[in-house]
DNA sequence: TTAAATGCAAACGCTTTGCAATTGA
DNA sequence: TCAATTGCAAAGCGTTTGCATTTAA
């Protein structure tokens, strides 16, 4: 479901700023920060403001069109919501982000529910650690 | 190993402010924020300053005497480092924090290493979700 | 036409920092 | 004694907000 269409259906206005924010989110290789989105927006729309970016991201989050992930940086990152959830393995040395299929977390989810009676929300996990390359270098 | 002793051995000064920060960390039922530590310090040491709390926490972190955990709040929380690691299940509704033994995460750690060649650092995980009580209420 | 959306500037909350004064060892 | 530590004030950073202006529908 395109962001454009959802906005339209729900009666939100399609503004150039919103379109550019959405475009930046879609074009991003990986997860993108508000600041990075703003840079792209500002390049094409010099009078735009970062508060518009934040307001648009808030709207898109509310509509479940984007998700927000905290990678343990000082800022939060965004990406377009996908049907099949995935997670992130973040190398603490090189910052590399490896996508992790949600199925890898099913066993954990089961244990938490069975043993701790806790329904874990594992939709947006970022697991810190060390990737194979950095581990090789260190050894 | 007491914080006091480590500081002394490493040649750091034992100041009343540092002692009170350490005391607050030890007395805390659960994970405590810098602001909460400062409130306790300030009550006994009116001229103290929160920057001292942050500097002390930074020092204690560096010495591996306290750990910092991000529960997804706007601020980070601290607690004294323990021999046996544990993790946290944080209820997104009532904020309840359930301690999770690290053994629950061993299987996940294994999968990540085997299938993704990724050495996960699962020492300080906070998993968001819904506790049993809140789930009952909702149903 | 008009409510929604924007730009701007200022504020916010948490954290960090420069610097002069204080203090533990 | 004197370098380490502190208090203070200000800044830094990402994010939010109030308000007047603009704009999509």
pLDDT digits (tens, 9 = 90+) for A70-86: 777 788 889 898 655 67
Asked whether residue B47 falls in the same domain as residue B95, the answer is no
Pick from A121, A127, A135: CB nearest B129: A121
Q: Residue B15: what pLDDT?
A: 97
Integer Cα distance of B118 and B135 in angstroms: 34
Q: How far is CA A52 from the centre of its chain?
A: 18
Q: What is the arithmetic mean of pLDDT over B21-35? A: 93
Find the CATH number of the domain harbouring B35.
1.10.10.10
Residues A8-21 as b/e (b if ≥16 CB within 10 A, e otherwise) read: eeeeeeeeebbebb
Calculate the alpha carbon distances from B133 to A137, B136, B138 in Å.
47, 5, 9
Integer Cα distance of B43 and B46 in angstroms: 6
* Residue A37 banded pLDDT, cuts 50, 70, 90: very high
Asked whether residue B112 falls in the same domain as residue B76, the answer is no
Longest dimension (CA), chain B: 57
Q: Residue B84: what pLDDT?
A: 58
- For residue B60, report the phi and psi dihedrals to the nearest 5 degrees: -65, -35
Q: Identify which of B60, B78, B81 has the alpha carbon closest to the alpha carbon of residue B15.
A: B60
Name which of B68, B71, B107, B127 to mutate to probe chain A: the one with the most chain A Cβ atoms within 10 A of its Cβ.
B127
* Residue A66 banded pLDDT, cuts 50, 70, 90: very high
Integer Cα distance of A36 and A54 in angstroms: 12
pLDDT over 60 (residue B17): yes
Asked whether residue B12 falls in the same domain as residue B70, the answer is yes
Asked whether residue A7 falls in the same domain as residue A18, the answer is yes
Longest dimension (CA), chain A: 57
Asked whether residue A71 falls in the same domain as residue A117, the answer is no
Q: Residue B91: what pLDDT?
A: 82
Structure tokens at A110: 């089961």
Asked whether residue A14 falls in the same domain as residue A30, the answer is yes
Number of domains chain A is built from: 2
A48 Cα to chain B: minimum distance (Å): 27
**Among residues B81, B99, B116, which one ends one of the domains?**
B81
Asked whether residue A22 falls in the same domain as residue A40, the answer is yes
Q: Residue B55: what pLDDT?
A: 98
Report chain B's C-alpha Rg in angstroms. Answer: 18
3-state DSSP call for residue A26? helix
Which structural domain, as residue segments, surrounds residue B2? 1-81
pLDDT over 90 (residue B124): no
Residue bearing the bigger pLDDT, A63 or B134: A63
A43 Cα to chain B: minimum distance (Å): 30
Asked whether residue B13 falls in the same domain as residue B70, the answer is yes
Separation between the CA of B54 and the C1’ of C13 (whole angstroms):
15
Residue bearing the bigger pLDDT, B80 or B93: B80
Asked whether residue A44 falls in the same domain as residue A89, the answer is no
* Residue B58 banded pLDDT, cuts 50, 70, 90: very high
**Among residues B36, B60, B81, which one ends one of the domains?**
B81
Question: What percentage of chain B carries pLDDT values higher than 70?
Answer: 96
Count other C-beta atoms under 10 Å from residue A107's C-beta: 14
Strand D reaches within 7 A of the B56 CB: yes
Asked whether residue B68 falls in the same domain as residue B93, the answer is no
Interchain CB distance below 8 Å, B89 and A119: no
Q: Are A69 and A79 in contact (CB under 8 A)?
A: yes
Query: pTM of whole model > 0.85?
Result: no
Q: Residue B81: what pLDDT?
A: 84
- For residue B77, report the phi and psi dihedrals to the nearest 5 degrees: -125, 155
pLDDT over 60 (residue B43): yes
* Residue A30 banded pLDDT, cuts 50, 70, 90: confident
**Among residues A40, A58, A81, which one ends one of the domains?**
A81
Integer Cα distance of B29 and B79 in angstroms: 9
Structure tokens at B131: 């506790």
Highest mean pLDDT among A23-37, A83-97, A111-125, B94-108: A23-37
Q: Residue A1: what pLDDT?
A: 63
Q: Residue B104: what pLDDT?
A: 79
Residue bearing the bigger pLDDT, A113 or A9: A9
Q: What is the arithmetic mean of pLDDT over B68-94? A: 79
Kindly report the average pLDDT of chain B as a whole number: 87
- For residue A29, report the phi and psi dihedrals to the nearest 5 degrees: -60, -50
B106: nearest CA in chain A?
Answer: A108
3-state DSSP call for residue A81? coil
3-state DSSP call for residue A76? coil
Asked whether residue A69 falls in the same domain as residue A97, the answer is no
């Amino acid at each position: 479901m395109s962001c454009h269409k959802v906005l339209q259906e729900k009666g939100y206005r399609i503004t150039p700023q919103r379109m550019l924010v959405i475009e930046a989110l879609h074009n991003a290789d990986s997860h993108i920060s508000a600041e990075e989105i703003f840079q792209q927006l500002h390049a094409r729309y010099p009078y735009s403001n970062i508060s518009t970016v934040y307001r648009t991201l808030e709207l898109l989050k509310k509509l479940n069109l984007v998700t927000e992930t905290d990678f343990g940086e000082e800022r939060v990152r965004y990406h377009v919501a996908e049907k099949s959830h995935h997670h992130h393995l973040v190398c603490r040395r090189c910052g590399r982000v490896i996508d992790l299929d949600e199925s890898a977390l099913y066993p954990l989810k089961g244990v938490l529910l069975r043993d701790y009676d806790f329904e874990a929300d594992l939709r947006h996990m970022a697991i810190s650690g060390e990737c194979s390359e950095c581990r090789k270098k260190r050894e």
